[in-house]
Every structure is written in C-alpha cells, then in structure tokens.
Amino acid sequence: MTFLETALKCVAETKPLFLDGYLQDKEISYKGDVDLVTTIDKAVEKKVQEIILSDYPDHDILAEESEDYSQSGSYQWIIDPLDGTTNFAHAVPHFALSMALEQDGKPILGVVYQPISDELFVAEKGKGAFLNNKKISVSKVTTLGKSLIATGFPYDRQQYADFYTKELSKMMKVSQGIRRAGVASLDLCYIACGRYDGFYERKLHPWDVAASLLIIEEAGGEVTTFTGDPYSYSEETILTSNQLIHDEMIHILANG
C-alpha cells in the first residue's frame, strides 16, 4: 500500500459520510462564536485516522478536531476532515477533505477532495499536480488588475472586522474581483488549476493549508508571507499566487 493509495482509500470511504450527512439535520457544536464543528467532522476524522493507522501504525496524525497531539516519528499526516464546516452546516455545496503527509517536516503528498463536485486534487513531491488525473498548472495572468483573487477572514473577524475589511478594500481596488468562499484548501487548489490567480489570508492553521501548499508548488505557484518571506506554519500571514502577480500583491498587502 503506497501513501497515495492510503489517502485515496480515505477519500473513498469518507465520501458516503459527506453525501449522507450533507442534506440531513446536523448536530452542531461551537468551538467559538463563529467556529463550528459537526458530527460529520468527527466521523470523517475518526475514519481517516483508522485507515491511516491500519496501514501505517507508526505514523503521527495532526488533525483539526483532535485535542492531544505530539509528534514522535518521521512521518506526520496533517488532516482537516471537513474544511468549510460552516458551509456544510448550512447546506452550501462547497467543502473539502484535506490530507497532507510530511516526512521530516517536508511535504511529500497532498490530497484535497470536494465530495459534491467530485473533484480530487493530488500532488506528490516532484511528480506534478493533478485534478481528477489531469495535470494542472497555475494561470498565466500577468497583472493584478486582470486577476481574480480569493481571501478569507480569521475566526476573530468580529473583533477585528475593521482591520480585515481595510485589507479587503485595498485589494478590491486593484484586482478584477475578490472571492470569499470559506474553504482555504480549495481556494489554494483553485490557484493551482488556474481558476484563481492569487490568495491571501491571516491566521490559518497547518490543517487549513498543508495539503494545498504542495499542490500549488507542484503546479508552479508561489507561497510566501505578506512581506515576501518564506512561509511556515508559525507565520501569521500567507500569500499564494501564480508567481506573475506575486510582487504586486506583496506591495499592496505589505505597504498599508
């Protein structure tokens, strides 16, 4: 069983959970004022963990809904069982399962699956990025004025609404359009396949981006902070693009 085969098994066995639960009444709890969790989040995470540990019992798993975590080995899976929980809870058909595998802290596999559209994004280190088995690459748009940009707002958006909308206003004035769909993993995959040209956001977690970052890299995109520094999970800001508009986006976001 290869790493990719294990990830694809997770996709296949969790798809019915998503589809069966999507239009049903949902049991919802709150981790914060706007941060939801449903029984499907937990059921998918449990199923994914069972599959991974069955194939690779010595692998570590960092997952969004898990409370306790410590890394002890070379291999670490980073899982968001349901990216877009708020969409799912409101029957908005835009959410995803996101799975990454790192070896010694370096990404080697990224898988993002959208159950409603049945779109599967996959990348393995050095092998390119694919959407439903067709190779993908970032867009060739060369100017921010002709670019479609995606963004999101952190969970503290009620407290810092004025600050986040100021950044949004700046980007609205210089781009062709802004989209805020509420699923960071898919926003990043949409850059990888050329649907979006750039993305920026603050305060994302490893499980929000881990899988998609490898997919973007393998599709020819660029990932930094707002100031152009190398991105890591400890950074507050993330900026991704098709490379061609990256400097323009840095100029807007780093220079008030």
Q: pLDDT by residue (tens digit) across 101-154?
A: 999 999 999 999 999 999 999 999 999 999 999 999 999 999 999 999 999 987
How many domains does one find in the chain?
2
Which residue type, as a one-letter code, is found at position 132?
N
Same domain for 152 and 118, yes or no, is no
Helices 246-254 and 161-174, interaxial angle, to 10°? 140
Distance CA 189, CA 243 (A): 15
Helices (H), the chain: 3-22, 39-55, 85-89, 161-174, 184-192, 206-218, 246-254
**Which of 136, 157, 183 is the last residue in one of the domains?**
136
What the block records as the tokens of 193 is 């396949």
- Which residues fall within 8 angstroms of residue 57, CB to CB, at 6 or more apart? none
Digit-coded pLDDT (tens) for 204-237: 999 999 999 999 999 999 999 999 999 999 999 9
Q: Name the domain boundary from 104, 136, 168.
A: 136
Angle between helices 39-55 and 3-22 (to 10 degrees): 160
Give the global pTM.
0.93
Minimum mean pLDDT among 34-38, 45-49, 85-89, 232-236: which range? 34-38
Average pLDDT of every residue of the chain: 90
pLDDT reported for residue 142: 98
Residue 230 is classified by DSSP as: B
d(C-alpha 207, C-alpha 190), whole Å = 17
Confidence of residue 34 (pLDDT cuts 50, 70, 90): very low
Q: Show the domain range for 56.
A: 3-136
Residues 161 and 227 in one domain: yes
Residue with tokens 């305060």: 203
